[in-house]
Amino acid sequence: MNLHEYQGKELLKSYGVKIQEGIVAYSAAEAVEAAKKMKELYNSGWCVVKAQVHAGGRGKGGGVKLAKSPEQAGEIADAMIGMHLITPQTSAEGKLVRKVLVAQDVFYPGAAEPKEFYISILTDRGRGCNVIMYSPDGGMDIEKVAHETPDRVYFEFIDPMLGLRPFQAQKVAFNLGLSGQAFKEMVDFVLKLYAAFLGSDASMFEINPCLKTSDDRIIAVDSKVTLDDNALYRHKDLELLRDKDEEDPADVEAQELDLNYVKLDGNVGCMVNGAGLAMATMDLIQLSGGSPANFLDVGGTADAQRVENAMRFILKDSNVKAILINIFGGIVRCDRVAQGVVDAYKAIGKIPVPVIVRLQGTNADIAKKIIDESGLEVMGATEFQEAADLVAKVLAK
């Protein structure tokens, strides 16, 4: 699950990480009010209006703009809200902007030039540990930095048993070229950032830019946070931050139905229990000349309602020319699933594509009987290969 910039910053702040402060606005009028409030709080009429969408590269697409007065903040917000923001990370249509963050201007003039760093935290699966990835050359061209001067990107690997040790945070601050007050601030920033990462069960944090202000403070000016969906059950407060408007409608619905669904671009809809069997099924479809339209794991409790939900879901994809239901009855009983298929048929009415059902395991014989005697246009199979061959046959027609 992805968070918006403003939500990510609030999360960081709750762990004591310093951030560029801001107020969310849903209209031009709210943006003016927010900017006035920011002026009172921070004693500067300047602020930055930032589009809140789940996509990076907003600066390049005109989604981050400096305003020199609350009125101007209102004008910018007026133009931004309702627009489709196109950035290097969105599709060609862009993303509809529904709200903006009116943020503190932190690039104020001072003794020294502000400096933008890049800091992210993610898991290195190869090494089996978390890693802090950072660069002194942060800002909007970090991709170019990574590509052209990879030696300017550093890695700090974290032992899962020992956690992030203070000397490692010091190493980060050192490699970023900091000294004095800014060095101390960065050590504190990195330690707290890592605590936030662990505490929220995040899978990715990206702070770009992390800014050294002209008065030597270290603050997060942007935040990209991805939380681990599998850990959300223990973060009810964070789960509430989900913004369904930003997500693919099919993904949202699958989530609501508790189905493990990934859309693919083939023509055979698959309904399988268990991720391993689902992958094997996709392989066999491919080997038999078809191509899977989706990955769908209906889970261990494939009862009639779930089968119906999954069937309706698969049928939404107009590319689907056949459906293969492949269930191994270990805990789930095959006769139950078979009844589910029959019920789904009756509930949905006419299913416009051939359905091949292979049920194996507990009560498979009873299941086959239910399918065969239902009088429905369903093809039953017992062997895996037999099912795949049937799929190939109906596709060839």
| Both structure tokens of 282 | 């996709």
Nearest residue to ligand GDP, using CB? 59
DSSP string of 191-230, one letter each residue: HHHHHHHHHTTEEEEEEEEEEE-TTS-EEES--EEEE-GG
Q: For strand 260-263 and strand 218-220, is the pairing parallel, antiparallel, or unpaired?
A: unpaired
Check if 10 is active-site.
no
20 contributes a contact to Mn ion by CB under 5 A: no
* Residue 104 near residue 9 (C-beta atoms within 8 A): no
Angle subtended at Cα 185 by Cα 201 and Cα 168, rounded to the nearest 5 degrees: 60
Q: Which candidate in 5, 185, 206, 308 is catalytic?
A: 206
- We find the least distance from the C-beta atom of residue 195 to ligand GDP, in angstroms, to be 23
64 binds ligand GDP (CB under 6 A): yes
Which residues are registered as beta bridge partners of 5? none
Choose the one of ligand GDP, Mn ion, none that binds residue 280, judging by a C-beta under 5 to 8 angstroms depending on kind: none
In the complex, least distance from residue 243 CB atom to ligand GDP, rounded to whole angstroms: 16
Residue 77 makes CB contacts below 8 A (sequence gap 6+) with: 25, 27, 28, 30, 31, 32, 49, 100, 102
Among 4, 9, 18, 58, binds ligand GDP (CB under 6 A): 58
| CB closer to ligand GDP out of 103 and 132 | 103
Using CB under 6 A, pick the residue from 107, 174, 295, 384 that binds ligand GDP.
107
Asked if 212 and 106 touch (Cβ cutoff 8 Å), the reply is no
Residue 105 binds: one of Mn ion, ligand GDP, none (C-beta under 5 to 8 A by kind): ligand GDP
Of 80-88, 103-111, 214-222, 259-267, which part binds Mn ion (CB under 5 A)? 214-222
Distance (Å, whole) CA 144 – CA 147: 5
Q: Cβ of residue 44: shortest distance to ligand GDP, in angstroms?
A: 10
Listed ranges 105-113, 271-279, 340-348, 378-386: which one lies at the site for ligand GDP (CB under 6 A): 105-113
Residue 252's CB is within 10 A of a number of other CB atoms, namely 14
Cα 248 from chain centroid?
Answer: 10
If one asks whether residue 208 binds Mn ion (CB under 5 A), the answer comes out as yes
Residue whose tokens read 């199979």: 381
Interaction with ligand GDP in 132-151: which residues (CB under 6 A)?
139-140
Q: In what order do the strands lie in the sheet with 47-51?
A: 22-25, 100-104, 47-51, 64-67
How far is residue 45's CA from residue 63's CA, in Å, rounded to a whole number? 20
Active site includes 118? yes
Rounded Cα gap, residues 7 and 176, in angstroms: 27
Give the residue, chosen from 23, 86, 158, 221, that forms a contact with ligand GDP under the rule CB under 6 A. Answer: 221
Please count the residues of this chain forming the interface with Mn ion, following the rule CB under 5 A.
2
C-alpha to C-alpha distance for 266 and 292, rounded to whole angstroms: 5
DSSP state of 294: E
Among 5, 30, 222, 335, the residue binding Mn ion under the rule CB under 5 A is: 222
The nearest distance, CB 326 to ligand GDP, in angstroms, is 43
Rounded least distance, CB 222 to Mn ion, Å: 3
Is residue 59 at the binding interface for ligand GDP, with CB under 6 A as the rule? yes
Given the residues 6, 118, 194, 261, select the one marked as catalytic: 118
| Residue nearest Mn ion, CB atom distance | 222
Which residues bind to Mn ion, rule: CB under 5 A?
A: 208, 222
User: Which amino acids are annotated catalytic?
Assistant: 118, 206
| Interface positions with ligand GDP (CB under 6 A) | 48, 50, 56-59, 64, 66, 105-107, 116, 139-140, 208-209, 221-222
